[in-house]
Structure 1
Amino acid sequence: MSTEPYIPIATLCTYYKVETSFFHGLNDYGLIEITTVEKLPCIHQKQIKNLESIVRLHQDLHINFEGIDTVLNLLEKIHDLQDELKAAKNKLRIFED
């Protein structure tokens, strides 16, 4: 079986203790992408880090899909701003030396 980078949703449901409808809802809302591999709905392993955050937000903080989308967008903007700040600091160091 050459599906190593894909994890079946059934396995994820067992691991995270959620229903399959949770993953299909995330897919419908555009937060994850479900791919069918050998007639099984699966998620690519590259999405696991993002999925971990989504599950924690949903289970621990009881945030709905819309809220999760907002939080993830804000976190992405923060990361982008941190990168910009780092680049600006590096440029500033050139003039300080």
Structure 2
Amino acid sequence: MEQQDLIIIDVFCKEYHVEINLIEELEDFGLIEIHQDNGLKYIQITHLPQVEKVIRFHNELNINKEGIEVVLNLLERLNQLNEDVRHLKDKLKLYE
């Protein structure tokens, strides 16, 4: 993993006005993924949308960690169901 694909947690927290404790709690709960290298903690740039979503759920909607986990699971299921429906519609078009 290259350095350019990572954001230092301290920098992320300053930019997003988030406490480092919150990021560590979210990682401990398994809601986000943090990488550690040379004593510094990082977030992958590709994970930013997920991290931003989790932080919005927590800060703006006041959802606790357990609730965030449920919401993320439901969103994932909804996306899967939408994909299944799209696939089935494509199959049906073959018979029209």
Which bin holds the TM-score, normalised by the shorter protein? over 0.9
Structure 2 residue 23 is matched with structure 1 residue 23: yes
What do the CA deviations read for 1:60-97 (whole angstroms, capped 9, x no partner)?
A: 1011111111101100000000000000001011111x
Residue 29 of structure 1 deviates from its aligned partner by 0.5
* 1:9 corresponding residue in structure 2: 9
What do the CA deviations read for 1:26-78 (whole angstroms, capped 9, x no partner)?
A: 11011111111232111111110101111111111011111111101100000
User: Could you tell me the percent identity over the aligned residues?
Assistant: 37
Partner Cα separation in structure 2 for residue 94 and residue 22 of structure 1: 50
Aligned residues, how many?
Answer: 95
Partner Cα separation in structure 1 for residue 41 and residue 31 of structure 2: 15
TM-score (norm 1): 0.93
Structure 2 residue 59 is matched with structure 1 residue 59: yes
**Runs (5+) with no aligned partner, structure 2:** none
* 2:68 corresponding residue in structure 1: 68
RMSD: 0.9
Partner Cα separation in structure 1 for residue 58 and residue 15 of structure 2: 15
Partner Cα separation in structure 2 for residue 13 and residue 83 of structure 1: 34
Q: Which runs of 4+ in 1 moved over 2 A?
A: none
TM-score (norm 2): 0.94
